[in-house]
Amino acid sequence: MPNESTVLIYGTNLGGYRAAYALGKRGHKFILLNRGSYVDEEKYQALAQLPLDFCWICGHMPQRAFKASGAMQDCYNAQLLAVSGEAGHFHVKFKKRDKPVNNFACTECDQCIEVCPVEVGEGKAIRVVPEAGWENCYVIDFEHCTRCGACEEVCPTGALKVERPEEVVEADVGAILLADAFEEPSDDDLRDFGLGQGPSVIRNSEVARRSLLTNFVRDSVRLPSGRMPQTFAVIVTPHFNRPGVEYENYNLSVSAIYRAIRLKEILPEAEVTVFLHDYRGTGKGHHQWYMKALDAGVRVERAETLSVVPDETVEEAAIHYTSLEGESRTQSVELAILVTGQSPPSQMEELSRLTGVQADENGFCRLRPFSCCETDVDGVFAVGELTGPKGNPETVWDGCAALTEMQRYLGEKNVAPGAAPSLRDVAGEPTRVGVFICSCFGQFDDRMDLPGLVERARALPGVSHAEIIEGCCTGPTIQATAERIKESGVNRVVLATCTPLQKKGKYDKAVMTAGLSPLLCEYLRFREDVIQVHTDPEGMLMKSLALIRGAVEKVKRGRHVSPLVDTFDGRALVVGGGLAGLTAATEIAANGFPVVLVERENELGGQTKYLDEEQREYVKGLISSVNASDNIACYTQAKLGQVEGYAGNYHAVIETPTTPVSVDAGVIFVATGAQESLPQGFLYGEDPAVMTQAELAERMKGGETADHVAMIQCVGSRTPEVPYCSRLCCNQALEHAILLREQGAEVTVFYRDIASYGKTNYYRLAKEAGVSFIRFPGDDVETGYPEVRRNGAGLEVVSEGESHPADWVVLSTGIVPDAENNEALSELLGYPLDYEGFFSSDISNYPYEEAIKKLTKPFELGSNGIFPVGLAHSPRSFEETILTAKDAVGRALVVIGKNKMPPPNKMFVAAVHESLCMGCGVCVDVCPYGARVIDEIERVVKIRPFLCDSCGSCVAICPNNASYLQDFKGEQSVAALDALLV
């Protein structure tokens, strides 16, 4: 019996969303079990992690499309009851109670709120949770609700049922994905920081929430009294909190820094101090962010211990802390912002009872070794915060990595792509525009004079028909509208309804059912632009008319075109045969796609000298499975000769020792790795007792040890030349330090910031083991670093004038990109390097962008089918390297091998009037997706429809309108614009 194809997703953390996105796009059904009562109740936890002060992830997740295609089954107030069976054939039982308001039927008319008799605070017992972002989420406050049912009666679409029955549902699924979300520490966990004890202490997540609602303006930090604070403390609580209460993901100190910078932006005069123990920004661009804060005049105070005592009445809080030097200080601020970590997941016990997954010593979900997401139980996966304190990029990568890892348990895709509608070409017909004005089930009637508007609309030149419709957002009304369009015999349609941002799909469905291409139609945000925001009847009429006039002018000049399609090659090219490359190759091959693996050296495996035994074994295993696979063609001592084409259609030539081989591929994985940076100075190379961590590891393996060992961190990292944190050095150094301690050595670590991260808190362990730490002011690279001197027989490390004798000096050197190779490859692939010299992510110039874009953009737009993985992308640990590879594979699996794909996201894309195109190439330069190329023979631009997201940059830069968007041509735009102003 074939395996089940559906996946159960428990919880909605970012990883869960990402997985759902990928599964839906790939064509697997999924069940979203949401413990909360609406779409993403944990949004604010997400915000707390993503200090961008906004998050639109749920908006980018095409829930409506998935719902429509039957891919998604979303369940609320859900609770998992039982899990039986095994991987590939799980039988799950859960209960759920749908939320009172069904988003997908709700038209957001607010009548329920108007009729609700129960006043609660400023609102009613049923209210909108605006924080829910992309669409308003109507929530009933059952504490106060009297169940009078008034709202239910008034709801025009029957979307609202106050009492929903609790249902018990059973389902067969192939795999289970545990994605329970980030949980913030409770107020009690934070009592040492005075939370809840006075007006002047607040969580960062709360500031983020207020920022979203007050639009990043000063109000987000205004004190209850209405006063604007002038002194701020931003405190990274996990650095000072009791052990085991909260855990830190490595983004946290960046969150603090980012908040501080934001404060400086809106209150340039304010005094902002960031309290932390160490700055632990180990991700892309994080060091630059730190330097930016210093430039912005943010004070960064490092403390050993810290507590906050707020004044209960006066808006003031006293920060008591001891400096690293041990002297205790006190600072008084008007507002203390707590950047909190995450508590261990509350659901672990329950989950292990149901599924058999195990918790680790810290209470997070345990994963099997060398797996990114798979738990001890076959077919049960866990992603993101559930598995430990994680930063967003990793959480998001988990999502796709899960897709990769669960493939082997899943059956065939079980979501059939919808059939293409048959549209009629209206060319030659006289233009007949129909204007359909939505009354939103009658509720607009008393807001403005719709019949009057219809009259005026009908009188517009070119309009042959105008009428009021009930709506176009529910099954019946969509059908009805389609009917009316047919009957009225129009061949152009203007729909004055509400937000196409959410409902375009529905409107498209209506017009296409009526046989018209969306190119012949325009959707107006009648509700958002007129009804909900204005009151003056005359003004509303005028504005509505202007909008309709513009739309009419636009559709009058619309032309029917059939959507473009493109094919996507089902083969993959992997450059680099190290851990990342091997992982990518094996995973892709495992899914039945041919792979070509290119390795520069004469054997696979990459740099193994830094690996421990298990890791070496793991790599060996990969190599043998590569050799065993019939799907993988492997070329050693080979390199990429030339590459042409674009995502889905690459043509590459590989230079091998014998003859060049030409290869076609849909995607390319760049896994060319990086190098250990070799230290300058510090007597390295001059004195055998000065060594790198890698060399230390070798010596320790050889059983050597020493009495006094000094370690110097950040050697060749976070400098002007190497402007980033190499991420791995701290954990590695601390591991070594602990081992040395166990062998009785005195270990002193000279550091700028200890940026250890991850599940095991090596920092704490090291301290407990008695490793001594001495900070040096490394922000000043010139003078701050310690100096290594010969001292008689031994060595001494001199930091800030003090001498510390040492037998060994171990330098924690960073990881540097293989500049030469990377530049050549970057040139060849036309894929950018970032300012750090690694291969850039899709877009990662801003912190956390990476997370959001990776989540929200199908790769084929962002990275043109090229995936930097492992060390080629950024310094990564062994496990993280595997993760990046599997994430990339997961993203590739979404599209690879698909044929005749319409362009992503849009039915229609940019196009070119070739007889007008001068081939000047400015549009090629500005196209963010490499979706255009100059045909050297014809000297005109050609479109690669698959890559085009129809952003229109090409249209704006093209001086003579040779470039145009099929759904908004040049000759439409001016006419429409003029019409607005009549």
Q: How far is CA 411 from CA 7, 174, 371, 474, 630, in A?
A: 10, 7, 21, 33, 22
Query: Under a CB-based contact definition with an 8 Å cutoff, are residues 583 and 882 in contact?
Result: yes
Restricting to residues 351-410, name those near other proteins by CB under 8 A: none
The minimum distance between CB 384 and other proteins, in angstroms, equals 23
Distance CA 268, CA 266 (A): 6
Nearest to 118 by CA among 136, 141, 152: 141
Based on the shown chain and the rule CB under 8 A, indicate whether residue 212 belongs to the binding site for other proteins: yes
Residues 744-763 within binding reach of other proteins (CB under 8 A) = none
User: Which of 299, 408, 534, 789 touches other proteins by CB under 8 A?
Assistant: 534
Closer of 539 and 770 to other proteins (Cβ): 539
Please, what is the minimum distance in Å from the beta carbon of residue 427 to other proteins?
11
Residue 953 interacts with other proteins (CB under 8 A): yes or no: yes
What is the enclosing helix (H) or strand (E) of 281? none
Comparing CB distances to other proteins, the nearer of 148 and 561 is 561
Number of Cβ within 10 Å of residue 78's Cβ equals 24
Q: Is 224 in the site for other proteins (CB under 8 A)?
A: no
Give yes or no for residue 536 binding other proteins (CB under 8 A): yes
Nearer to other proteins, 209 or 804 (CB): 209
Q: Which stretch binds other proteins (CB under 8 A): 141-149, 302-310, 794-802, 921-929?
A: 921-929
| Of positions 27, 54, 206, 432, contacts other proteins by CB under 8 A | 54
**Region binding other proteins by CB under 8 A among candidate stretches 98-106, 215-223, 676-684, 729-737:** 215-223
Query: Applying CB under 8 A, does 980 fall inside the site for other proteins?
Result: yes
632-635 and 595-598 strand pairing: parallel
Least distance to other proteins, CB of residue 217, Å: 6
Q: What are phi and psi of 848, to 5 degrees?
A: 75, -15
Only one residue has tokens 């075109």, namely 561
By DSSP bridging, strand 126-128 and strand 123-124 are unpaired
Of 56, 368, 459, 935, which one interacts with other proteins (CB under 8 A)?
56
State the burial class of residue 455 (Cβ atoms within 10 Å of its Cβ: 0-12, 13-18, 19+): exposed
Matching residue, tokens 């009908």:
458
Q: Is 45 in the site for other proteins (CB under 8 A)?
A: no
The residue from 219, 695, 735, 779 that contacts other proteins (CB under 8 A) is 219
- Closer residue to other proteins in complex, CB, 803/845: 845
CA distance 456 to 444: 17
Is residue 925 close enough to count as binding other proteins by CB under 8 A? yes
Q: Using CB under 8 A, pick the residue from 111, 512, 965, 966 that binds other proteins.
A: 965
Q: Which of residues 236 and 257 has its CB atom nearest to other proteins in the complex?
A: 257
Q: In the complex, what is the shortest distance from the CB of residue 724 to other proteins, in angstroms, rounded to a whole number?
A: 18
Does residue number 951 form part of the binding site for other proteins (CB under 8 A)? Answer: yes
From 86-94, 244-252, 303-311, 954-962, span contacting other proteins (CB under 8 A): 954-962
Work out whether 904 is an interface residue with other proteins (CB under 8 A).
no
Binders of other proteins among residues 458 to 477 (CB under 8 A) are 461
Q: Taking CB under 8 A as the criterion, which residues in 753-812 touch other proteins?
A: none
The gap between the terminal CA atoms of the chain, to the nearest Å, is 67
Radius of gyration of the CA atoms of the chain, in A? 30
Rule CB under 8 A: is residue 824 a binding residue for other proteins? no
Footprint (CB under 8 A) of other proteins, residues 839-878: 843, 845-846, 849, 862
**110 or 378: whose CB is closer to other proteins?**
110
Write down the least CB distance from residue 284 to other proteins, Å. 13
Q: Where does this chain touch other proteins (CB under 8 A) — which range of 448-456, 771-779, 876-884, 910-918?
A: 910-918
Closest CB 969 distance from other proteins, rounded Å? 8
Q: How far is CA 577 from CA 107, 366, 412, 622, in A?
A: 53, 29, 30, 10
Strand 932-935 to 380-382 pairing? unpaired
Choices 213-221, 473-481, 681-689, 776-784; region in contact with other proteins by CB under 8 A = 213-221
Q: Does 294 bind other proteins (CB under 8 A)?
A: no
| DSSP bridge pairs for 303 | 323
Edge to edge, what strands does the sheet with 808-813 contain?
Answer: 690-692, 808-813, 708-715, 746-751, 772-775
Q: 452 with 500: CB under 8 angstroms?
A: no
Per the listing, tokens 């060399």 go with 695
SS (H, E, C) 452-487: HHHHHHHCCCCEEEEEEECCCCCHHHHHHHHHHHHH
Kindly state the smallest distance separating residue 659's Cβ from other proteins, in Å. 32
Dist. CA 688–CA 684, nearest whole Å: 8
Report the nearest approach of other proteins to the CB of residue 524 (Å).
9
Kindly provide the b/e burial profile for residues 791-827, where b requires at least 16 CB atoms within 10 angstroms of the residue's own CB: eeebbbbebeeeebebbbbbbbbbbbbbeebbeebbe
DSSP state of 366: P
Contact yes or no for 618/370 (Cβ under 8 A): yes
CB of 248 to other proteins, least distance (A): 25
**In one letter, which amino acid is 642?**
Q
CA distance 558 to 492: 8
Tokens of 431: 């233009």
Site for other proteins contains 950 (CB under 8 A): yes
User: Which residue type does 488 have?
Assistant: S
Q: Is 939 in the site for other proteins (CB under 8 A)?
A: yes
Identity of the residue, 207 or 737, whose beta carbon is nearer to other proteins in the bound complex:
207
User: What is the per-residue binding string for other proteins in 239-278, x denoting contact by CB under 8 A?
Assistant: ---------------------------x------------
Distance CA 44, CA 54 (A): 10
Taking CB under 8 A as the criterion, which residues in 124-153 touch other proteins? 128, 130, 133-134, 136
Q: What is the DSSP letter of 359?
A: B
- Scanning 728-770, the segments in alpha helix (DSSP H) are 729-742, 762-768
Number of residues that bind other proteins (CB under 8 A): 86
When the beta carbons of 331 and 961 are compared against other proteins, the nearer one is 961
Query: Nearest approach, Cβ of 534 to other proteins (angstroms)?
Result: 5
What are the respective helix, strand and coil percentages of the chain, to the nearest 5?
A: 30, 25, 45
Give me the least distance between CB of 51 and other proteins, in Å please: 13
Question: How far apart are CB 947 and other proteins at their closest, in Å?
Answer: 12
Choosing from 525, 560, 759, 767, the residue that interacts with other proteins (CB under 8 A) is: 525
Nearest CB to other proteins, comparing residues 219 and 311: 219
298 or 309, CB closer to other proteins? 298
Binding of other proteins by 447 (CB under 8 A) = no
Residues 538-597 that bind other proteins (CB under 8 A): 539-540, 542-543, 546-547, 550, 553, 557
Structure tokens at 473: 């957002």
* For other proteins, the closer CB: 401 or 511: 511
In this structure, the number of other CB atoms found within 10 A of the CB of residue 601 comes to 14
Nearer to other proteins, 823 or 938 (CB): 938
Nearest distance from C-beta of residue 531 to other proteins, angstroms: 8
Give CA–CA dist 472/509, Å, rounded. Answer: 10
Q: Indicate the residue type of 9.
A: I
Task: Name the segment binding other proteins (CB under 8 A); options: 252-260, 361-369, 647-655, 958-966.
Answer: 958-966
Binding of other proteins by 970 (CB under 8 A): yes
Angle, vertex CA 824, rays to CA 819 and CA 827, nearest 5: 120
When the beta carbons of 157 and 881 are compared against other proteins, the nearer one is 157
CA dist 706 and 687 (Å) reads: 15
Residue 128, Cα to own-chain centre: how many angstroms?
26
